[in-house]
Amino acid sequence: MKSIDTLVTRFQLRWPGHLERMSDDKVPKQMFYSKLLMGHQLWGRPTFPFKDNVNKLLQNCIMVIVHSESTASNRSAWTQHIKEGAAACE
């Protein structure tokens, strides 16, 4: 049986693959790749954006980040990539 951490990692890594296959005019993709231009930051520890969390997961699971965007464009290859990376994490 797989650990809950492995399952959560797999589910978190599915979303960036979906965003990569999404067209550029969709709001979720624009939000994922955008930066906040106006506003103020709250005191305390800086927030940890989802994009940085995804990169940390990819590094922890020994998945190659350079090829992740090109792999994400192919759904079956991305799913296999996630399964192999999650197995390496466990």
Does 56 map to a domain? Answer: yes
Q: What share of the chain is helix, strand, coil (3-state, %, to 5)?
A: 60, 0, 40
For residue 8, the Cα-to-chain-centroid distance in whole angstroms is 12
Does 38 map to a domain? Answer: no
Does 42 map to a domain? Answer: no
What distance in Å separates the CA atoms of residue 2 and residue 21, rounded to the nearest whole number?
Answer: 28
Domain span including residue 73:
4-25+47-89
Q: For 28-78, what is each residue's pLDDT tens digit?
A: 888 877 766 666 767 777 777 777 887 787 777 766 555 566 777 788 888
Does 40 map to a domain? Answer: no
User: What's the pTM?
Assistant: 0.64
DSSP 8-state symbol, 62: T
Domains in the chain: how many in total?
1
Does 18 map to a domain? Answer: yes
